């Protein structure tokens, strides 16, 4: 167990699992880490601590498990002082929760669908993904981070867009998020990956590239 009885069940390539690690690092909390294979056998500890979804990430704090990455981020922010992940003001907090929900419910699924769409789904999925990015583009315009001057809840939740999306686009030869089409969001991704805490807690780009290249080839071969 980490210094404070903290353990993360995660997976190196999962943006959801990395959210939890980023938050703990921002708070300066040491933790034990157990790598899980999301596509293979689940560990008895994962099955026991998240029996409903059987999914990473799980945070175990003093023996008590918490699942769902956004729920975990809120928990971390409430339990440990120091770096503020959510704003303190209730209205700003509600706004952050609204955008985090938008990212998880709308933005990420539409981006994922657009990335891996088959030929006949391409147009529809791309339209949806672009509409959602357009909404985020307006929200980030004129700001450094979604949270203001420093990385916060929404930025951490948007880590897939900040780090993963570029690599997957490269693998697939797709250009959904580009500087030309979304200048403010692109500027945000640059600022995002520049942060030391993000750099140190993101997967290796080469490893992620290789992982998604294999996924892409497997899908192509099965067609």
Query: If binding means CB under 8 A, how many residues of this protein chain bind a second copy?
Result: 23
Judged by CB under 8 A, the residue of 93, 213, 215, 216 near a second copy is 93
CB nearer a second copy, residue 105 or residue 150: 105
Give the shortest CB-178-to-a second copy separation in angstroms: 23
Is 74 a binder of a second copy (CB under 8 A)?
Answer: yes
Q: In the bound complex, what is the minimum distance in angstroms from residue 191's beta carbon to a second copy? A: 23
Question: Does 82 help bind a second copy (rule: CB under 8 A)?
Answer: no
d(CA 76, CA 163): 22
Given the rule CB under 8 A, which of 16-24, 60-68, 185-193, 201-209 is the region that contacts a second copy? 60-68
> Is position 68 an interface residue for a second copy (rule: CB under 8 A)?
yes
Q: Does 67 bind a second copy (CB under 8 A)?
A: yes
Print the binding letters for residues 117-146 with a second copy: x by CB under 8 A, - otherwise: ------------------x-----------
End-to-end CA distance of the chain: 45
Q: How far apart are CA 80 and CA 59, in angstroms?
A: 14
The torsion defined by the Cα of 214, 220, 221 and 223, in degrees rounded to 10, comes to 150
Residue 204: DSSP 8-state: -
Q: Is 52 in the site for a second copy (CB under 8 A)?
A: yes
Residues 121, 113: contact at Cβ < 8 Å?
A: yes
* d(C-alpha 184, C-alpha 168), whole Å: 20
Q: In what order do the strands lie in the sheet with 6-10?
A: 32-35, 6-10, 58-61, 64-67
Contacts of 14 (CB under 8 A, 6+ apart): 38, 56, 57
- Stretch of residues binding a second copy (CB under 8 A), selected from 67-75, 140-148, 186-194, 195-203: 67-75
Residue 9, strand partner residues: 34, 58
Q: Decide whether 48 or 64 has the Cβ nearer to a second copy.
A: 64
Q: What are phi and psi of 150, to 5 degrees?
A: -125, 160
> Which position among 75, 83, 209, 211 is part of the footprint of a second copy (CB under 8 A)?
75
Binding site for a second copy (CB under 8 A): 52, 61, 64, 66-68, 70-72, 74-75, 78-79, 90-91, 93-95, 97-98, 101-102, 135
């Amino acid at each position: 167990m980490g210094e404070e009885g903290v353990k993360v069940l995660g997976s190196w390539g999962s943006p959801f699992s990395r959210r939890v690690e980023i938050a703990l690092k921002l708070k300066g909390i040491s933790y034990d880490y157990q790598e899980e294979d999301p596509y293979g056998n689940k560990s008895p500890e994962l099955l026991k601590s998240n029996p409903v979804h059987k999914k990473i990430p799980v945070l175990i704090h003093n023996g008590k498990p918490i699942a769902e990455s956004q729920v975990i981020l809120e928990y971390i922010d409430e339990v440990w002082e120091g770096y503020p992940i959510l704003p303190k003001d209730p209205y700003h907090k509600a706004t952050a929760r609204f955008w985090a929900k938008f990212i998880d419910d709308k933005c990420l699924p539409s981006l994922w669908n657009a990335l891996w769409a088959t030929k006949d789904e391409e147009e529809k999925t791309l339209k949806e993904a672009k509409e959602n990015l357009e909404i985020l583009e307006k929200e980030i315009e004129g700001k450094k981070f979604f949270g203001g001057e420093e990385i916060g809840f929404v930025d951490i939740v948007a880590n897939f867009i900040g780090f993963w999306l570029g690599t997957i686009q490269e693998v697939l030869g797709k250009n959904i998020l580009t500087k030309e089409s979304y200048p403010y969001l692109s500027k945000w991704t640059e600022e995002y990956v520049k942060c030391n805490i993000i750099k140190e807690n993101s997967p290796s780009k080469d490893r992620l590239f290789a992982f998604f290249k294999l996924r892409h080839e497997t899908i192509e071969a099965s067609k």
